Amino acid sequence: MRETLAGDASGHDPWHVQRVRRAALHIGRGEGADLYVVELAALLHDIADSKFHDGDEEIGPRRAMEWLASLGVEPVVVEQVGAIVRDLSFRGAGVEQRELTLEGQAVQDADRLDAIGAIGVGRAFAYGGHKGRPLYDPAIPPEAHATAERYKSNRSPTLNHFHEKLLLLKDRLNTPTARALAERRHQFLEEFVERFLEEWEGRDLG
């Protein structure tokens, strides 16, 4: 994981994975999940993102499973981790989420918590810069993407991503432990968007 994700500037670097690992273990402990599966899935969840591999949705789970199998991890654990890596991702506001195991729910919640709050703001703009997107463009309204294809192919400014995904996440968390953690982070996002627009429109100039 460290080798593969080192130097990533799109918000999926090894530090993201370490934060997700820690939060996923915290959530998994609170929910009584199998922490061995939680930890492996957290460590491997971004090992190969389809966004950066021509939309190949199988590459992440395949790499994760091949790696674990090569280390002699029990096949049932390899399967469990592979399924989590496959079904974790957000695919658009109107796109139905795949069913996850309790372990998967813990990792998904941890991944989503890392997309909100102060770190979430930082990662969103890092991702936007990585993709050459503008910060904001008042002429381009946010969109509720009804299909995964539309969500993935969107080219909208980074501030729109707050409405298209980040502000939706707190209501899409799986576990009570994560929902409690999300409150403060969500509040910060709302305040950030409000201030961003206030400054953009010069309303703070008086």
| Residues near ligand ADP, by CB under 6 A | 11, 49, 89-90, 111, 115, 120, 123-124, 127-128, 158, 161, 166
Minimum CB separation of residue 50 from Ni ion in Å reads: 12
Cβ distance to ligand ADP smaller for residue 4 or 69 = 4
Q: Which of residues 130-169 bind Ni ion (CB under 5 A)?
A: none
Cβ distance to Ni ion smaller for residue 126 or 140 = 126
Minimum CB separation of residue 166 from ligand ADP in Å reads: 6
Cβ distance to ligand ADP smaller for residue 74 or 135 = 135
Q: Which of residues 101-130 bind Ni ion (CB under 5 A)?
A: 111
The Cα–Cα gap between 40 and 55 comes to 23
For residue 51 the two structure tokens come to 């966004």
Minimum CB separation of residue 44 from Ni ion in Å reads: 10
Q: Report the partner that residue 145 touches, choosing among ligand ADP, Ni ion, none (CB closer than 5 to 8 A by kind).
A: none
Cβ distance to ligand ADP smaller for residue 89 or 105 = 89
- Does 46 bind Ni ion (CB under 5 A)? Our answer is yes
Minimum CB separation of residue 111 from ligand ADP in Å reads: 5
Minimum CB separation of residue 111 from Ni ion in Å reads: 4
Cβ distance to ligand ADP smaller for residue 127 or 192 = 127
SS (H, E, C) the chain: CHHHHCCCCCCCCHHHHHHHHHHHHHHHHHHCCCHHHHHHHHHHCCCCCHHHCCCCCCHHHHHHHHHHHHCCCCHHHHHHHHHHHHHCCCCCCCCCCCCCCHHHHHHHHHHHHCCCHHHHHHHHHHHHHHCCCCCCCCCCCCCCCCCHHHHHHCCCCHHHHHHHCHHHHHHHCCCHHHHHHHHHHHHHHHHHHHHHHHHHCCHHHC
The Cα–Cα gap between 162 and 58 comes to 27
Number of residues near Ni ion (by CB under 5 A): 2
Contact positions vs Ni ion (CB under 5 A): 46, 111
